[in-house]
Amino acid sequence: MTPTTRAVVIGAALLLGLATLPAFASPGTPDAPARATDPCARNLRDWNDRFPPAAQWQTALQPYVKGADAWHCPRHRAQQGSTYAMNRLLGGRSIQDETLWGCVLLFESQRVGKNITDTGESLCTPGRHQGGHYYLLGNGRVVWSKRRLPFRPTLRAE
């Protein structure tokens, strides 16, 4: 698994409040052969260094979630479903595409359900956390901001 892939998975875990993910071995480490047969490692490889498909993002991350409470913000009163959404523009795209690293991948949504996906239309307003939002970016970082962060990739200057 590449460092970027690892960062995105860890970032998703942090945003969703998941239990600690298993530490994935890099090629050449002593336990790499054992990890090759681990179902969790296989699931990550199945994405082929791509973000999960937007329409099934929650289903794709389900194996890494410890409990149902991880799917909704504790400040939201939802009892069923997720209060997080995925930026549909990133679904299935390459994790190696650096133009996506500053884009929002997962965010807090005012919609409640499973596999919620849009381009920020459902971003909760006002923000649930001191007027701001937590976002998971395409580079795996979880950030808090009072302003809306970019959902569309920006072109790099040549």
Q: Which tokens in the block code for residue 74?
A: 């504790």
Provide the terminal-to-terminal Cα distance of the chain, rounded to the nearest Å. Answer: 29
Total count of residues recorded for the chain:
158
3-state secondary structure of 131: strand
3-state secondary structure of 94: strand
Q: Which tens digits make up the pLDDT trace of 60-86?
A: 888 888 777 788 777 776 667 788 999
Q: Which tens digits make up the pLDDT trace of 136-156?
A: 999 889 999 998 899 998 765
Range of lowest pLDDT (52-61, 101-110, 149-158): 149-158
Backbone angles phi, psi at 53, to 5 degrees: -60, 135
Q: Which tokens in the block code for residue 68?
A: 């149902």
Helix (H) or strand (E) holding 84: strand 82-87
Q: For residues 113 and 75, which has the higher predicted lDDT (pLDDT)? A: 113
Q: Which tokens in the block code for residue 119?
A: 């381009």
Angle ∠(112,117,121) on CA atoms, nearest 5: 80
